[in-house]
A and B are shown apart, each in its own frame.
Chain A
Amino acid sequence: MKKIKDFIKDIETLRTLVALSVSFLIVFILIIIISDSPTKALFDFIIGPFTSIRRFGNVIEGSLPLIFTGLSVILLQRTGHYNLAMEGAFFIGAVVATAAALIFKGPPLIILLVSMLSAMLIGAIITGIPAVLKVKTDANVLVTSLMLNHICLYVGMFIIITYFQDPKMNSNYSYMFPDGVNIPTIFGVTRINYGMIIALITVFIVWFLLNKTSFGYKLTIVGKNQNFAKYSGINVNRLIIESALIGGAIAGLGGAVDLFGMYNRFQYSGLTNYGWDGILIAIVARHKPHFVPFAALFLSYLRTGANILSRTSDIPSEMISIIQAIVIVLISAQAILSKYRQKLVVEKTLSGEVI
């Protein structure tokens, strides 16, 4: 006999599918209204990302930074605080990785390692600041972390422009990284690189931490009821700081991986927004690390499709953000099928089909 738990899982999957279809339907209607060749547009949007290896590569590449920030958000928000500093940590991680790559001399692999470690360190420091301030002074984490993001941006740009800008470039780009200081690609045609492996290892580590260690258990408890955590003998303050540090290190690492995987010099001109994306990813993945890659792939797929759409069709580029918004909101709409679900549960329970 089927467990009610599994049965509810099935309904949940069904709900997601229905939500997805509904959102695509709405998008479809929008496209019909705007476009002269709606079928082609829709094809480009939905199938487009799969029409060439390179495009499919784009989907996978695009998911990389999202995986890191998604994981980062899971850790940062685990203890129930609204730490948004992953945005700044990601950016400053890339800045510091650039600095390290351009300052240190040695074998490329060592430089890479040193750069990534420095990125992790600075990332941890950045997200750690709001946590420490919270614990020591009770300052609101949302406020301090939002402010820190701006500070990261400006200080980061200052560092790049003042110390590392390549005067040969007509833009605020750094010098080129030394030869071999990059993350090599796995498949020639695409830019999918070994950063993917790092990302997946990180996913595993986070999953492991949260599900297999007392540390992860304690984080969950702190997030669900601080009083209870304290009463259980958990050192709440330490955990708030520790989870922030780890979350920031992951975001910083994400910055470094994005940098060395996709570019050969520092070229961000502003905050990347991957941190905010991380919130979406974390929510869609229901704060479970092992769902993060899928959520990231999905968002990346959506974006790749939308980019192809705006390139190949007469749909204005602004529609991309509108379409994204619709899909994201509907995916998380819990109410879809809730009546049906309730009805099914009742039926199954009454008929004794499930326990």
Chain B
Amino acid sequence: GKENGNNNSNDGSKLSVVFVVTGQLGDRSFNDSAHEGIKAMAEKLGVETKVIEIGRDQTVWRPTFEDLAEEGEYDIIITNGSNAGELIEEIALEYPEQKFILFDTEMESEIVNLYAISYLQNEASYIAGVLAALVTKSDMEYANEDNKIGFVGGSEHPIITDFLVGYVEGAKSVDPNITVYVSYIGSWDDTAKGKETAMAQYNQGVDIIFPAAEQAGLGCVEAAVEMKKYIIGVDSDQAMLFKGVNEDSANVILTSVLKEVGNSLVRAVDLEQKGNLPWGTFETLGIKEDGVGIARNEYFDKNVPAEIKEEVINAYEQVANGEVKVTSALTDDSKIVEEIIRSVAP
């Protein structure tokens, strides 16, 4: 390793980054998305990369980061900041030579070797809410009379609530009288339970569900296929994951709420290579910045009727140009957030 990892553009050698996964790869969610970004960096930017998985057991997090910072083998350590943020701040102060990029978090203190990216997932799920509310009343093949849509979360979690509140607001913007069923699986892994939870909602007349439950959400997709209902994917473009493997699944996923973790990381590292990354700040990426969005893939084109598409795109623009301000579970008062969610409860 090198004795320190701070300078890179100067000595001309390759920039090196390490992605520390505080969870596991294969979540088809933000970790995988970030991983895609890392791969892209290696390919397009010629960056040297390494991925280390350290799981959810927090006791090993600190030693890992400290070891990495102390060895200084990598110029930049990239990791998810929503859980590890506080820890990284401490370590960043302890090892000012080591640079860190955090995603999914906002940093309040201005630490010069730290850069953070957060995502306005509520904005993207607002669009999803709009779509869902339109679909449930439409005469699409799997839609029914009832004015009911669903949301399935892994467990209660601020980020999940952020998804939820945007979704609800979007749906309400279409029809204030809509009913939104909300269930939590109680697990991020249990696909069978995910399926069970979605089926229970579908049995109540819900015809479209937005699951934000990592892997467990895959069970919801199965429920949709089996019961001939709709799903909105989360984080990555999930319909495309099924393309060619399982067309039935791909066809029930009308769109996906995207959180462009990978792209934003590539952008940040690109900036760093050019010496332009504003260390010590954080950026918040919303629809306007293309940090979040919804997937407009072939299945969206094929399966969503034109008039709905139009209204969805309309909403997209409204959010992008700031006409619509979406409530956030991360920054707004929790009372207000609860109020909104409760207003559409069955």
Contact = CB atoms under 8 A, between A and B. Distances in A.
Given A154-B186, A157-B155, A317-B54, A170 B82 contact: yes
Contact of A311 (B58, B64, B158): B64
Nearest to A176: B86
B186 A171 contact: no
A308 B64 CA distance: 8
Given A161-B156, A317-B54, A170 B330 contact: yes
A54 B63 contact: yes
**Residue from A157, A171, A262 whose CB has the most chain B CB atoms within 10 Å:** A171
Interface string B49-75: 000111111111011101110100000
Contacts of A55: 63, 67
Contact of B157 (A54, A172, A304): A172
Nearest to B73: A312
Contact of B52 (A172, A272, A303, A310): A310
Contacts of A62: 59
Interface in A235-270: 262-263, 267-270
A302 B68 CA distance: 20
A167 B66 CA distance: 27
B83 interface: yes
A350 interface: no
A171 B158 contact: yes
Nearest to B21: A317
Given A55-B63, A311-B67, A269 B56 contact: yes
Given A154-B186, A310-B52, A310-B53, A171 B63 contact: no
A58 interface: yes
Nearest to A317: B53
Contacts of A191: 62
A310 B54 CA distance: 8
Interface string B75-93: 0000001110110000000
A307 interface: yes
Interface residues of A, number: 32
Given A267-B58, A311-B52, A317-B55, A169 B63 contact: no
Contacts of A263: 58
Interface string B150-167: 000001111100000000
**Residue from B62, B63, B66 whose CB has the most chain A CB atoms within 10 Å:** B63
Contacts of B157: 171-172
B187 to A, nearest CB: 9
Contacts of B204: none
Interface string B311-340: 000000000000000000010001000000
A170 B158 contact: yes
Interface string A36-68: 000000000000000000110010011000000
Contacts of A304: 63
A172 B64 contact: no
B63 to A, nearest CB: 5
Contact of B83 (A58, A171, A262): A171
B169 interface: no
Contact of A307 (B56, B63, B85): B63
Given A161-B156, A307-B63, A270 B56 contact: yes
Nearest to B106: A170
Contacts of B70: 54
A307 B83 contact: no
Contacts of A267: 58, 83
Interface string A290-328: 000000000000011001101100001100000000000
21 contacts: A54-B63, A55-B63, A165-B158, A167-B334, A169-B86, A170-B330, A171-B82, A171-B157, A171-B158, A173-B83, A191-B62, A262-B59, A267-B58, A267-B83, A268-B58, A273-B57, A311-B54, A311-B64, A311-B67, A317-B53, A317-B55
Given A170-B158, A308-B67, A317-B52, 15 more contacts: A167-B334, A170-B81, A170-B82, A170-B104, A170-B330, A171-B82, A172-B158, A263-B58, A267-B58, A307-B63, A310-B52, A311-B54, A311-B67, A317-B53, A317-B54
Top-6 shortest CB links A-B: A170-B82, A317-B53, A58-B63, A171-B83, A170-B158, A307-B60
Interface of B: 52-60, 62-64, 66-68, 70, 81-83, 85-86, 104-106, 118, 155-159, 186, 330, 334
